[in-house]
Amino acid sequence: MIVVIVVVVLVLAVGGVVVARRRSRRDRAPRIRAAMPEVLVRDVASRPSLGDVEDLERRLSSSRSLFDRVRSLSAQGSVNEEQLAVVEEVLLRSDVGLSATNEIVASLRESGAPQGVANSLRAALLTSLSADRTVRVRASEGRVPVWLFVGVNGVGKTTSIGKLAQRHINEGRTVVLAAGDTFRAAAAEQLAQWATRSGADIVRASEGADPGSVVHDALGRAQARGTDLVLADTAGRRSNSTNLLDELAKIRRVADREPGEVVETFMVLDATTGQNALSQAREFLAAAAVTGIVLTKLDGTARGGIVVAIERELGIPVKYVGVGEGVDDLIVFNPENFVDSLLQA
Q: Footprint of Mg ion on this chain (CB under 5 A)?
A: 157-158, 187
Q: Assess 292 for contact with ligand GTP (CB under 6 A).
A: no
When the beta carbons of 108 and 295 are compared against ligand GTP, the nearer one is: 295
Question: Which of 157, 204, 216, 303 contacts ligand GTP by CB under 6 A?
Answer: 157
Residues 214-253 that bind ligand GTP (CB under 6 A): 236
Question: Which of 83, 227, 291, 296 contacts ligand GTP by CB under 6 A?
Answer: 296
The answer to whether residues 264 and 135 touch, using CB atoms and an 8 Å cutoff, is yes
Distance CA 80, CA 22 (A): 67
Q: What angle do CA 39, 41, 46 make, to 5 degrees?
A: 130
CA 130 and chain centroid, separation? 17
Question: Which of 83, 94, 158, 182 contacts ligand GTP by CB under 6 A?
Answer: 158
Residues 94-133 that bind ligand GTP (CB under 6 A): none
Q: How far is the CB of 50 from ligand GTP (least distance, A)?
A: 13
Q: Assess 324 for contact with ligand GTP (CB under 6 A).
A: yes
Q: Residue 299 touches which of ligand GTP, Mg ion, none (CB < 5 to 8 A by kind)?
A: ligand GTP
Q: Assess 213 for contact with ligand GTP (CB under 6 A).
A: no
Instruction: Find the part of the chain contacting ligand GTP (CB under 6 A) among 16-24, 39-47, 137-145, 316-324.
Output: 316-324
Q: Residue 220 touches which of ligand GTP, Mg ion, none (CB < 5 to 8 A by kind)?
A: none
Q: How far is the CB of 293 from ligand GTP (least distance, A)?
A: 13
Q: Where are the alpha helices (DSSP H) in the chain?
A: 2-34, 53-59, 61-66, 68-71, 81-93, 98-111, 117-128, 157-170, 185-198, 211-225, 241-255, 275-288, 306-314, 335-343
What are the residues facing 202 on neighbouring strands? 177
Q: Assess 322 for contact with ligand GTP (CB under 6 A).
A: yes
Q: How far is CA 10 from CA 2, 14, 20, 49, 56, in A?
A: 12, 6, 15, 44, 53
Q: How far is the CB of 250 from Mg ion (least distance, A)?
A: 18
CA 290 and chain centroid, separation? 13
Q: How many other CB atoms are there within 10 angstroms of residue 69's CB atom?
A: 14
Question: Which of 46, 80, 102, 153 contacts ligand GTP by CB under 6 A?
Answer: 153
Q: Assess 55 for contact with ligand GTP (CB under 6 A).
A: no
Q: Where are the alpha helices (DSSP H) in 152-238?
A: 157-170, 185-198, 211-225
Q: Residue 296 touches which of ligand GTP, Mg ion, none (CB < 5 to 8 A by kind)?
A: ligand GTP
Residues 165-184 that bind ligand GTP (CB under 6 A): 181
Q: Enter the DSSP assignment of 143.
A: P
Q: How far is the CB of 209 from Mg ion (least distance, A)?
A: 15
Distance CA 247, CA 241 (A): 10
How many residues touch ligand GTP (CB under 6 A)?
21
Q: Residue 228 touches which of Mg ion, ligand GTP, none (CB < 5 to 8 A by kind)?
A: none
Distance CA 24, CA 35 (A): 17
Measuring CA to CA, which residue among 266, 249, 257 is closest to residue 333? 266
**Chain residues that interact with ligand GTP, rule: CB under 6 A:** 151, 153-159, 181, 187, 236, 268, 296-297, 299-300, 322-325, 329
